[in-house]
Structure 1
Amino acid sequence: MGSSSSKLDLVPDAEELMKETGFSSAHLLRLYERFEFLDRDNRGRLGPDDFEAVTELALNPIGDRIVAAFFRPGKETVDFPSFVRILAHFRPVDTNRSRDGAQTEPANSRNKKLKFAFKLYDQDRDGKISRAELLQVLQAMLGMQVTEEQLQSIAERAIQEVDLDGDDAVSFDEFKRSLEKVDIDHKMSIRFLE
């Protein structure tokens, strides 16, 4: 136990991050090791190129969108605490965890997970998923498996089914409503955190 405790001393803001994200000390240490592995230049910060070493992202058709989610507009790098806060979206919901009177919603709540997923589609950050944005994701995911006409048809049907206010786009509330029966906790998990 002493060795793991001393290793945890190397992790910036460890206690605060564990309290905020719900990660255990073992998970936080694992994330820190992963961060250090990705930080090939030992800058203490990661840029988009550093994520190329993550095979799962390289193989994911929307991996570039997932990587972009780590960076706020105008920010070209991410530090370890920010890295952990983003990854907390992929932590399973812990229904037994006390929130210690916290006023903020945890990153791994269903609502926050849905907001994170919504942003992967809403690339222009206007609060709506347009037909063009949906089509871009479909093209990335389905690629050459279907024709352009089929992609257009899929996007059209999806918008029609979900767009309740008739603005020809999907708002977050419409997105959330359309995924009511989906186990988002299962869909948004990362294997190396388990």
Structure 2
Amino acid sequence: MGSSSSMPEEVQELADKTGFTLEQIEHLHRRFKQISGDQPTIRNLRQGPCGLADEINFEDFLTIMSYFRPIEMNMDEEQLDHFRNEKLKFLFHMYDSDNDGKITLQEYRKVVEELLSRNPHLDESARSIADGAMMEAASICVGQMEPDQVYEGITFEHFLKMWQGIDIDTKMHVRFLNMDTMAHCH
């Protein structure tokens, strides 16, 4: 994480930027070193032109992980809305691989196929699962989108409407960040 003389200041900056505690940052740094094989970066192992970076450093890793941290009990409603909105923006951008502000059926299929490709029993079904999920998304947006618009892609505003009433905090939450349960993870 840098030279030892600048580490406390550097760690404090990361804490301010990501919302993690100093203890959580230290734990995540140990995990990063394990994943990277004690190297300063982790290679992006996605094949093809996908992926925004060939390598990510610890700060990038920490920033990504910050989207999965649990909500803080002392957040007011405005802070909660902002926090949830940031999680949903991150999730939206995972699907919107060409960064055009829309999730197309092809982009959605690709993500679902990548997620299911490791399971040989679901590999054949991945396309139909993605198609069904996209049609369900379209049905949620009925009245807000014309049928032709669904095929052009779902915008972030439509994506937000799809997630209304769903507890994003429990869907995008990493429990290992709770320092009390970390002893069970080793």
Provide the TM-score with structure 1 as the length reference: 0.67
Alignment equivalent of 2:145, drawn from 165, 176, 179: 165
CA contact (8 A) 2:69 2:174 kept: yes
- Give per-residue Cα distances to partners, 1:82-130, cap 9 Å, x unaligned: 21111111111214169xxxxxx89x81011001111121112111111
Gaps of 5+ in 2: 117-121, 179-186
Where in structure 2 are the equivalents of 1:74-93 lying within 5 Å?
A: 75-93=53-71
Q: How far has the Cα of 1:34 moved from its partner? A: 0.8
Secondary structure, aligned partner of 2:103: strand
Residues 26 and 125 of structure 1, relative CA distance in 2, 3 Å threshold? same
In the alignment, which residue of structure 1 is the partner of 2:184?
none
Secondary structure, aligned partner of 1:178: helix
- Is the counterpart of residue 34 in structure 1 residue 13 in structure 2? no
- Give per-residue Cα distances to partners, 1:142-185, cap 9 Å, x unaligned: 63474855653443343243262321221101101110111111
Aligned residues: 160
Q: How far has the Cα of 1:27 moved from its partner? A: 0.5
In the alignment, which residue of structure 2 is the partner of 1:52?
none
CA contact (8 A) 1:89 1:116 kept: yes
Runs of 4+ in 1 over 6 A off after TM superposition: none
Residues 150 and 177 of structure 1, relative CA distance in 2, 3 Å threshold? closer
Aligned-residue identity in percent: 27
Gaps of 5+ in 1: 1-6, 50-63, 99-104
CA RMSD for the aligned pairs? 3.3
Residues 147 and 175 of structure 1, relative CA distance in 2, 3 Å threshold? closer
In the alignment, which residue of structure 2 is the partner of 1:133?
107
Q: How far has the Cα of 1:139 moved from its partner? A: 3.8
CA contact (8 A) 1:8 1:25 kept: no
